[in-house]
Amino acid sequence: MKRALITGITGQDGSHLAEYLIELGYEVHGLVRRVALEQPAQRLGRLLHLRERLHLHPASLESYPSIFQIFGREQFDECYHLAAQSFVAESFADGFSTMAANVNGTHYVLEALRSLQPKCKFYFAGSSEMFGKVRYSPQDESTPFYPRSPYGISKVAGYHLSTNYREAYGMFCCSGILFNHEGPRRGFEFVTRKITSGVARIKLGLETKIFLGNLDARRDWGHAGDYVRAMHAMLQQAEPDNYVVATGESHSVRDFCAIAFAEVGLDYQEYVEIDPSFYRPAEVDLLLGDATKARQQLGWEPQHTFRNLIREMVENDLELLSSRAHTAPRKATVGIA
């Protein structure tokens, strides 16, 4: 039985990946903050249905000794490094914490593996935000990076760290340059979930407006459940490499709004208002991925369409709010990441 460690297992991608690996017969371990084990209902919400099948270890990406201890105590075949401060807007608000967690955390995991388990295969969660102000579209593995946020910069650093450990020490290190991927488990701070939860609240009479930023920003949106399959496939190859994972379709935030509101029979133009405070200091206008390499070498294909993704998210938020109609509306800010 293969053994895998997932950092960031409590997040959207981590929970989907844990499910997928368990289905494949893996013994799945996760790195979590100690408070998550003390408050599972609040901190492990995406994993409660899997809790008895997981091995969770308290540690912090800000502490090299805690990471070193885990790799010294447990042996793994694969390590999926997903943990990061991933909300772009927050990275502008607190760039120091974003850089410390994302860059140092990646470096700590890589160095602990090099010292204790150099044969363990390593996956680094890159991001399309590394491309930022793109030179051309679509973007593939050879497109130059031009990040436009502290988050994007931190991911470029992690990408190069992973490549350096592969080339300098012969480690099996892969980076997945994943374009935006969403789903019902997306955090409420991200623009897609803000829209779908807002649609549900308006439909149920709990709100009357959604306030958003740049409706013309365009992204290549896929489903998180599809993208974790690509992560796993990268570590099953004979040689380590880097791969873009994307649908190859570009849609605007406006498109997302129009489809989401149409799912409940409403016109988004009557409910969406622009709030300039949600604009980024340095905007990324267009991201569109070319996943030809992943399709050809990994045999990967997305299984969800853009419209089906939105429908699933809207239906989930309607069901969630209908079952919790007595709770107060959740406050959220908007971000694209």
Per-residue pLDDT tens digits of the chain, which is 337 residues long = 999 999 999 999 999 999 999 999 999 999 998 766 656 766 788 998 998 999 999 999 999 999 999 999 999 999 999 998 766 767 667 778 888 889 999 999 999 999 999 999 999 999 999 999 998 999 999 999 999 999 999 999 999 999 999 999 999 999 999 999 999 999 999 999 999 999 999 999 999 999 999 999 999 999 999 999 999 999 999 999 999 999 999 999 999 999 999 999 999 999 999 999 888 787 788 999 999 999 999 999 999 999 999 999 999 999 999 987 645 444 443 444 3
- CA-nearest of 61, 129, 103, 126 to 335 is 129
268 secondary structure, DSSP code: G
pLDDT at residue 335, rounded to an integer: 42
pTM of this prediction?
A: 0.92
pLDDT at residue 334, rounded to an integer: 40
- CA-nearest of 283, 287, 289 to 335 is 283
Domains of the chain, first to last: 3-181+221-245 (3.40.50.720)
What 3-state class would DSSP assign to 56?
A: strand
8 Å CB contact between 126 and 175: yes
Give me the active site residues, please. 127, 129, 151
pLDDT at residue 33, rounded to an integer: 81
